[in-house]
Chain A
């Protein structure tokens, strides 16, 4: 079980798992040897609402940093997510087909999206944010969005 950093913006509480790194847009990457498990943050799942359908790039897809690897259709929006590292999709979370709500319920756990075989994990990881840095970036983003409402 990961530990979490927590922050409250307005009436919302957002958690950030401490055992992984983050793209600035809020895709997390958890190293597992040469492989990387990827998913979306608690902030992103709350911001986008209940997930209804998940479309993932198929196994074998080669991705550069910033390539779309998943599209989530929620009740509010269609949202694209981009690869945090270079590599090849080797596994997708097929459980989400029948139970997409798991992305909302356990964004850092059973709601993972895909596993990638990373091309150069060390180099790519160095460009990602640690939990504290992501927390700060996410906080500003959340405050910014609340101001718009």
Chain B
């Protein structure tokens, strides 16, 4: 076996949103960077996560709009899904973006090494490539960004044909008449909405008492559940899946809830019970890296316990979101190149691409009160927003959480059209310490969806213009 040696200022293990952003950012700051990736750059997000699912969600939403186009004065006789072309569109979007990252890495002179890396010393990575070659990469700083893997709960029957994880659910060859989704979190609900739009009868089974991740605004979580049920989706909370069986050409998902055992049938079953940090196969503990459960333990500079070893992205736990990973990548790039920056998660938004979309940033009312803060929640419904009326999407809400005395915005929780875009304004408010008055006196264009944020801000002083409270 040939061993070659590579020397770098910074070696990055993992080319997902955490790792590639760290690499690009460090290179911008003048470092000589080597990035090791065993598959394709872009990680879960670009290849099998955010990007392909949003391509599917875009088509699903367009299909739903086409089906109610008549109400908007447009005749579309037969809107139907063309699966081969949908798969091609999804894949070409992924290819363009992965290609774009590769181009950027090249342009910034980041050396991309393809292979499986192990850390043999705090300053040395050993990389085995697919062709049997081996490279030793030594670096002044090592940034660990190994990402996450699909959590695989020990449910008997999860290997049966027709039972898929999120990666499998991206490749749609047929639309199953019935889909059972195990897990009512972000991934499960996004897929539930895609398949439902395409015509599947969807059942969502969630172990917790509520859908959406813990810590989600309760009003929004409850409302999303109501909206999905009104559309005909079956949602069973408090249901623990015991096993999956095959019978009569269908899959039977056996779940236990308050009412005993219930069987849910479907032609396909999606297991979407979350993700785990991808650290188990890395032997990190052997070299003395301190762990926090499955996650790599880091401080607020994202430093591990080993000198000049940093860790970012899904592997350090917390919200497993690409943009959280990206900001960690930028923080670490500074810290590994002589800078000094602490990570600040206050303004990291959480976004869920269901129909309607859900997005939040900062504290919920309950979290703020738990922290002893006195807060006031101001709410505005999209039913009173002209643009939402034009779009015919009025089911959503904006809930703004502000400090009772100062009006400082500490959280915002949105559901509705383009909620995932609208949350950016709230994130800026949280990050800069803006108040409800700051938002209220920022003129928002009319007629636009962000006016809902303006009205919620006005509501802090009970002065919403376009909503009447009795």
**B230, A98: Cβ atoms under 8 Å?**
yes
**B226, A79: Cβ atoms under 8 Å?**
no
Report B217-258 CB contacts with A as 1/0, cut-off 8 Å.
Answer: 001000100100110000000000000000000000000000
Any chain A CB within 8 A of the CB of B468?
Answer: yes
Q: How far is the CB of B204 from chain A (nearest CB, A)?
A: 16
Any chain A CB within 8 A of the CB of B286?
Answer: no
Most buried by A among B229, B381, B395: B381
Any chain B CB within 8 A of the CB of A110?
Answer: no
User: Which residues of B sit under 8 angstroms from A79, Cβ to Cβ?
Assistant: 469-470
Complex Cα distance A143/B219, Å? Answer: 36
User: Which residues of A sit under 8 angstroms from B86, Cβ to Cβ?
Assistant: none
Most buried by A among B230, B381, B383, B394: B383
Complex Cα distance A52/B416, Å? Answer: 14
B residues in contact (CB < 8 Å) with A = 219, 223, 226, 229-230, 379, 381, 383, 394-395, 467-470
| Main DSSP-derived SS at the B contact region | mixed
**A75, B383: Cβ atoms under 8 Å?**
yes
**B229, A78: Cβ atoms under 8 Å?**
no
Closest to A72 in B: B470
Closest to B230 in A: A98
Closest 8 CB pairs of A and B: A77-B468, A79-B470, A97-B226, A78-B469, A75-B383, A98-B230, A73-B381, A77-B470
Any chain B CB within 8 A of the CB of A34?
Answer: no
Any chain B CB within 8 A of the CB of A55?
Answer: yes
Chain A stretch 26-66: residues in CB contact (< 8 A) with chain B: 48, 52-53, 55
Any chain B CB within 8 A of the CB of A80?
Answer: yes
A52-B383, A97-B229 given; A76·B395 CB < 8 A: no
User: Which residues of B sit under 8 angstroms from A78, Cβ to Cβ?
Assistant: 379, 381, 467-470
**A53, B223: Cβ atoms under 8 Å?**
yes
**B226, A77: Cβ atoms under 8 Å?**
no
User: Which single member of B223, B226, B379, B395 contacts A98 (CB below 8 Å)?
Assistant: B226
User: Which residues of A sit under 8 angstroms from B219, Cβ to Cβ?
Assistant: 55
**A52, B395: Cβ atoms under 8 Å?**
yes
**B395, A80: Cβ atoms under 8 Å?**
no
User: Which single member of B223, B226, B469 contacts A80 (CB below 8 Å)?
Assistant: B469
Q: Total contacts A to B, CB within 8 angstroms?
A: 31
User: Which single member of A53, A75, A76 contacts B226 (CB below 8 Å)?
Assistant: A53
User: Which residues of B sit under 8 angstroms from A80, Cβ to Cβ?
Assistant: 469-470
Complex Cα distance A139/B467, Å? Answer: 25
User: Which residues of A sit under 8 angstroms from B470, Cβ to Cβ?
Assistant: 48, 77-80
Given A78-B467, A78-B469, 13 more pairs with CB closer than 8 A: A48-B470, A52-B394, A52-B395, A53-B223, A75-B394, A77-B467, A77-B470, A78-B468, A79-B470, A80-B469, A80-B470, A98-B226, A98-B230
A residues in contact (CB < 8 Å) with B = 48, 52-53, 55, 73, 75-80, 97-98
Complex Cα distance A98/B467, Å? Answer: 24
Complex Cα distance A48/B223, Å? Answer: 20
Most buried by B among A76, A78, A98: A78
Q: How far is the CB of A51 from chain B (nearest CB, A)?
A: 11
User: Which residues of B sit under 8 angstroms from A73, Cβ to Cβ?
Assistant: 381, 383
Q: How far is the CB of A104 from chain B (nearest CB, A)?
A: 15
Complex Cα distance A55/B220, Å? Answer: 12
User: Which residues of B sit under 8 angstroms from A76, Cβ to Cβ?
Assistant: 468
User: Which residues of A sit under 8 angstroms from B229, Cβ to Cβ?
Assistant: 97-98
Complex Cα distance A48/B470, Å? Answer: 9
Closest to A55 in B: B219
A-B CB contact pairs (8 Å), 11 listed: A53-B226, A73-B381, A75-B383, A77-B467, A77-B468, A78-B470, A80-B469, A80-B470, A97-B229, A98-B226, A98-B230
Q: How far is the CB of B141 from chain A (nearest CB, A)?
A: 52
User: Which residues of B sit under 8 angstroms from A98, Cβ to Cβ?
Assistant: 226, 229-230
Q: How far is the CB of B229 from chain A (nearest CB, A)?
A: 6
Q: How far is the CB of B161 from chain A (nearest CB, A)?
A: 35
Complex Cα distance A78/B219, Å? Answer: 14
Complex Cα distance A79/B470, Å? Answer: 5
Complex Cα distance A73/B467, Å? Answer: 11
Q: How far is the CB of B378 from chain A (nearest CB, A)?
A: 11
Q: How far is the CB of B236 from chain A (nearest CB, A)?
A: 15
Q: How far is the CB of B4 from chain A (nearest CB, A)?
A: 64
User: Which residues of A sit under 8 angstroms from B223, Cβ to Cβ?
Assistant: 53
Complex Cα distance A73/B229, Å? Answer: 18
Closest to B470 in A: A79
Closest to A78 in B: B469
User: Which residues of B sit under 8 angstroms from A77, Cβ to Cβ?
Assistant: 467-470
Q: How far is the CB of A149 from chain B (nearest CB, A)?
A: 14
Complex Cα distance A80/B230, Å? Answer: 23
User: Which residues of A sit under 8 angstroms from B379, Cβ to Cβ?
Assistant: 78
Closest to B229 in A: A98
Complex Cα distance A42/B467, Å? Answer: 22
Q: How far is the CB of B14 from chain A (nearest CB, A)?
A: 44
Complex Cα distance A97/B223, Å? Answer: 9
Q: How far is the CB of A96 from chain B (nearest CB, A)?
A: 10
Closest to B223 in A: A53
Complex Cα distance A77/B229, Å? Answer: 23
Closest to A52 in B: B383
User: Which residues of B sit under 8 angstroms from A48, Cβ to Cβ?
Assistant: 470
Q: How far is the CB of B94 from chain A (nearest CB, A)?
A: 38
User: Which residues of B sit under 8 angstroms from A97, Cβ to Cβ?
Assistant: 226, 229
User: Which residues of B sit under 8 angstroms from A52, Cβ to Cβ?
Assistant: 383, 394-395
User: Which residues of A sit under 8 angstroms from B469, Cβ to Cβ?
Assistant: 77-80
Q: How far is the CB of B414 from chain A (nearest CB, A)?
A: 16
